[in-house]
């Protein structure tokens, strides 16, 4: 056993790369299994364990010690290297040996030698040279320092986990790409390339996901868009590939439904959603949109909410207000949806980005975004779009879920939306007024809003005949006997080719009918309402509510798609 | 019945018209796919609908199945000829076994290349 002094001992310990060090977990923190930090109870205490003691108990302890390194400038303090003991549970063995030393009476204290690492920053070239401004913005290329997803400080807490599955509903994922291959989801129930549907889920050899267009188990990307999104979410870190994602460790599932031309059908998106539900996905990234209201897509996203999946959606790229003109799927009023606007490197809203004070939740980097593509296993490119913003949010969601795996989807969404980095350009243009922040979402627990009770009308949709009337009823029960009507939120979706023909009223179980629409909008299409009822009256709301839609002019027809009433949660 | 003097000439013309109409009905121009990304419609059935109910509806409306969405209790069919699609979807929507029927809408990526 040797005893010597090392003034620079702390520095020696800190410069060891964490990955190269043998560690055990003590109280959730990594510690060296064979060293402890001590302070001797008295001056010269170290001599007692140099084999000079005749006390058999101390001699027994001394036999387990390899050497003692005294700190030159810290009196009586030392690092004790223990002889290696690999028997049994090593964390338990370390605890026992600490207890033995404490009970020897030789020490004032004995504690684990916790592993300290420098801030986690990846070595990947696109990160270190500043191309990935969305992850770390130091003002490069005229950017604004700090206008990023605050990932660097977040990575000190977590770099993600392969236990978290993020599905990318898109054009597929080039799963052989050098920066994606290591983080691709692996279907545990499927044997690769044996031509069988081993897990009996309807797809043969679905190792990394599916292709809903062909019905095959290979989500290989033939466009590049999906691979780009995948790279932003979770390109592998500290490797030969130049890219790194928001989450260094994650399981990326490819769900292909967009063609090489970048277009696809709702039915194939629905197939992808249902596959993701079956295979236990945590987060779904959706950098696509278009079309009008679809009950089938609405129902599928609702199923994903019931399965506890966060549904991250691009807000769309028309540069318009989604509050005024609803975009789908971002505009569906379903609680697990996060709609994402795009920011540039100066924290300005991208010129193409849609926004919405009541319909778009937050912003994220979406201009000049560098990521993986599908041309080859080493191809990369720079894209713009809310398509590129959404994956930053999905990546942050994966980090948060990795640190707090038991979060519900409501809690996960609340952490992301309620802990944004304030951005002036998003104030009044998004629900949160800020940009997604990995650091803040990890640091701050947030109580999700208590959801009210939603009653949804059944037996819909119903056709609205020309110059005809359609009614729909909804039964409310279990509510307080006195409710202010203006605390009730109505959601209504009517498709029509000339809304100026329509008169829409809502008759509560008691009191007067409420006018919702009275031949407004002239030749516009569709009536979509998401608003509180305007009456200040209080009524007993329990009973049958009746919605009536009248078409009062010739030529045009429509469909009553859906309507619901949300009552506030009890205080 | 008088036989027109040009009857022999009319036979191939008539046959060609029949073949063309038949081809259009069986393979409408707006329904070119085989389950991929062509035009299609989604029909959602009620939980109570039996396989016999579904078969009857498919036969009644001449629906050609592209794929089943089991979790959604829905089926995707080849698009109907555009001139009758809207009225057919409405008629489908009024069937007891059908929750709703809608056009399978197209969506696109949201990037600015």
pLDDT for res A547: 96
Q: Is the pLDDT of residue A211 over 60?
A: yes
Question: Is it the case that residue A155 has pLDDT exceeding 70?
Answer: yes
Comparing A388-392, A443-447, A484-488, the range with the smallest average pLDDT is: A443-447
User: Residue A332: what pLDDT?
Assistant: 85
The residue of chain B nearest to residue A318, with distances taken between CA atoms, is B110
ipTM exceeding the 0.85 mark: no
**Catalytic entry in A175, A177, A208, A225:** A225
Instruction: Find tokens 């966060």 and name the residue.
Output: A310
| Spatial separation of the C-alpha atoms in residues A408 and A127, rounded to whole Å | 32
In the residue annotation, A387 being an active-site residue is answered as yes
Lowest-confidence pick of A90-104, A131-145, A297-311, B24-38:
B24-38
Mean pLDDT of A170-195: 97
B104 closest CB neighbour out of A170, A266, A384: A266
Q: Which candidate, A182, A162, A184, places its Cα nearest to that of A172?
A: A184
Average pLDDT, integer, range B77-88: 90
Q: Average pLDDT of A391-420?
A: 95
Q: What is the pLDDT of residue A341?
A: 98
Q: Phi, psi (5° rounding) for residue B13?
A: -65, -45
Please tell me the distance in Å from A186's CA to the nearest CA on chain B: 23
Counting Cβ atoms within 10 Å, is residue A429 exposed (0-12), middle (13-18) or buried (19+)? buried
Q: What tokens does A9 get?
A: 């001992």
Q: Mean pLDDT, to the nearest integer, of A158-172?
A: 96
Burial class (CB in 10 A: 0-12, 13-18, 19+), A21: middle
Which of the four pLDDT bands, split at 50, 70 and 90, describes residue A52? low
What percent of chain A lies above the pLDDT cut of 90? 63
Instruction: Indicate the pLDDT class of residue B23, thresholds 50, 70 and 90.
Output: very low
What is the count of residue pairs from A and B with beta carbons less than 8 Å apart?
128
Chain B residues whose beta carbon lies within 8 Å of the beta carbon of residue A316: 110
pLDDT at B33 over 50: no
Secondary structure percentages of chain B, helix, strand, coil, to 5:
40, 25, 35
Q: What pLDDT, on the 0 to 100 scale, is given for residue B25? A: 41
pLDDT on residue B36:
52
Q: If pLDDT is split at 50, 70 and 90, which confidence band does A10 have? A: very low
Residue A215 with chain B: CB contacts under 8 Å? 35, 67
DSSP string, B38-63: S-EEEEEEPTT--HHHHHHHHHHHT-
When pLDDT is averaged across residues A402-411 and rounded to a whole number, the result is 93
State how far the Cα of A39 lies from the Cα of A74, in Å rounded to an integer. 9
In angstroms, how far is CA A449 from the centroid of its own chain?
18
CB-CB contact of A565 with A509 (8 Å): no
Beta strand A160-170 with A283-286 is: parallel
Spatial separation of the C-alpha atoms in residues A95 and A177, rounded to whole Å: 44
Q: Which two tokens stand for residue A251?
A: 């399981």
pLDDT at residue A449, rounded to an integer: 66
Average pLDDT over residues B79-103: 89
Interface contact A383-B111, CB threshold 8 A: yes
Confidence of residue A488 (pLDDT cuts 50, 70, 90): confident
> A66 and A131 in contact (C-beta within 8 Å)?
no
Residue A23 has pLDDT above 90, yes or no: no
Q: Which two tokens stand for residue B58?
A: 């498919």
Contact B105 A386 (CB under 8 A): no
Higher pLDDT, A368 or B82: A368
The question of whether A482 is a catalytic residue gets the answer: no
Least confident of A10-19, A90-99, A511-520, B51-60: A10-19
Q: 3-state class of B76 per DSSP?
A: strand
Output the DSSP codes for A429-472: TBSSSEE--HHHHHH---PPPPP-EEEE--S--EEE-TT-EEEE
Angstrom distance (rounded) from CA A185 to CA A196: 19
A44 phi-psi bin (left φ>0, alpha ψ -120 to 50, beta other): left
Beta strands A362-365 and A337-343: pairing type? parallel
**Structure tokens, A464:** 């609205």
**Nearest residue on chain A to B107, alpha-carbon basis:** A290
Q: Of the listed A387, A402, A437, A562, which one is catalytic?
A: A387
Residue A169 has pLDDT above 70, yes or no: yes
Quick: pLDDT tens for A499-545.
899 999 999 999 899 999 998 877 777 888 877 787 778 888 989 99
CA distance A549 to B21: 40
Are the Cβ atoms of A258 and B71 closer than 8 angstroms?
no
Beta bridge partners of A504: A517, A549
How far away is chain A from the Cα of B30, in angstroms, using its nearest Cα? 14
Local confidence band at A66 (pLDDT 50, 70, 90 cut-offs) = confident
Q: Residue A484 contacts by C-beta under 8 Å, 6 or more apart in sequence?
A: A536, A537, A538
Can you tell me whether residue A278 is helix, strand or coil?
helix
Residue B105, both tokens: 């809408």
Residue A130: pLDDT over 60: yes
First to last CA, chain B: 69
Residue A208 falls in the annotated catalytic set: no
Least confident of A19-33, A151-165, A427-441: A19-33
H or E stretch including A229?
helix A225-234
Q: What is the pLDDT of residues A372-383, one digit of tens each?
A: 999 999 999 999
């Amino acid at each position: 056993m040797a005893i010597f002094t090392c003034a620079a001992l702390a520095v020696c310990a800190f410069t060891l790369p964490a990955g190269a060090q043998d560690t055990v977990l003590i109280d959730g923190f990594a510690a060296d299994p064979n060293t402890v930090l001590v302070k001797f109870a008295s001056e010269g205490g170290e001599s007692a364990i140099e084999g000079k003691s005749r006390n058999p108990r101390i001699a027994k302890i001394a036999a387990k010690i390899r050497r003692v390194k005294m700190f030159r400038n810290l009196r009586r303090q030392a690092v004790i290297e223990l002889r290696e003991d690999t028997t049994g549970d090593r964390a338990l063995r370390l605890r026992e040996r600490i207890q033995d030393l404490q009970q020897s009476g030789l020490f004032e204290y004995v504690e684990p030698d916790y592993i300290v690492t420098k801030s986690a920053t990846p070595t990947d070239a696109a990160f270190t040279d500043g191309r990935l401004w969305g992850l770390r913005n130091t003002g490069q290329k005229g950017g604004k320092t700090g206008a990023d997803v605050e990932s660097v400080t977040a990575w000190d807490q977590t770099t993600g986990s392969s236990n978290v599955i993020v599905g990318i509903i898109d054009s597929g994922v080039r799963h052989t790409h050098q920066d994606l291959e290591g983080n691709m989801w692996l279907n545990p129930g499927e044997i690769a390339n044996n031509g069988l549907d081993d897990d009996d889920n309807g797809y043969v050899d679905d190792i990394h996901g599916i292709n809903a267009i062909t019905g095959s188990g290979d989500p290989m990307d033939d466009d590049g868009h999906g691979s780009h999104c995948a790279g932003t979410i979770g390109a592998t870190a500290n490797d030969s590939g130049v890219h790194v994602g928001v989450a260094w460790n994650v399981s990326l599932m490819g769900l292909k439904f967009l063609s090489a031309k970048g277009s696809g059908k709702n039915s194939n998106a629905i197939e992808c959603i249902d596959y993701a539900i079956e295979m236990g996905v945590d987060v779904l990234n959706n950098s696509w949109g278009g079309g009008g209201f679809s009950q089938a897509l609405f129902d599928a996203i609702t199923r994903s909410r019931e399965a506890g999946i966060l549904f991250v959606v691009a807000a769309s790229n028309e540069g318009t207000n989604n509050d005024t003109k609803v975009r789908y799927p971002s505009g569906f009023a379903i609680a697990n949806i996060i709609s994402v606007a795009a920011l540039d490197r100066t924290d300005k809203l991208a010129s193409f980005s849609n926004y919405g004070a009541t319909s778009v939740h937050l912003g994220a980097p979406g201009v000049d975004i560098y990521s993986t593509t599908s041309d080859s296993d080493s191809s990369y490119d720079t894209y713009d779009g809310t398509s590129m913003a959404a994956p930053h949010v999905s990546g942050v969601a994966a980090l948060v879920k990795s640190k707090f795996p038991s979060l519900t989807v409501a809690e996960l969404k609340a952490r992301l939306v309620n802990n944004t980095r304030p951005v002036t350009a998003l104030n009044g243009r998004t629900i949160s007024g800020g940009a997604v922040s990995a650091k803040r979402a990890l640091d701050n627990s947030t109580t999700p809003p208590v959801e009210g009770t939603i009653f949804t009308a059944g037996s819909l949709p119903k056709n609205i005949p020309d110059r005809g009337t359609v009614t729909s009823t909804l039964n409310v029960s279990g509510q307080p006997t006195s409710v202010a009507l203006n605390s009730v939120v109505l959601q209504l979706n009517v498709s029509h080719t000339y809304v100026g023909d329509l008169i829409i009223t809502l008759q509560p179980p008691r009191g007067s009918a409420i006018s919702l629409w009275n031949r407004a909008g002239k030749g516009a299409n569709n009536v979509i309402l998401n608003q509180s009822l305007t009456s200040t009256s209080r009524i007993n709301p329990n009973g049958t509510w009746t919605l009536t839609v009248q078409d009062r002019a010739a030529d045009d027809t429509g469909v009553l798609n859906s309507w619901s009433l949300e009552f506030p949660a009890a205080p | 019945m008088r036989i027109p003097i040009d009857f022999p000439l009319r036979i191939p013309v008539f046959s060609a018209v029949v073949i063309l109409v038949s081809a259009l009905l069986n393979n409408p121009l707006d329904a070119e796919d085989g389950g991929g990304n062509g035009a299609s419609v989604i029909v959602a059935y009620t939980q109570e609908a039996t396989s016999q109910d579904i078969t009857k509806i498919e036969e009644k409306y001449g629906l050609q199945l592209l794929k089943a969405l089991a979790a959604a209790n829905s089926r995707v069919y080849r698009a109907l000829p555009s001139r009758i699609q809207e009225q057919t979807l409405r008629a489908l929507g009024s069937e007891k076994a059908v929750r709703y029927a809608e056009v399978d809408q197209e969506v696109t990526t949201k990037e600015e290349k």
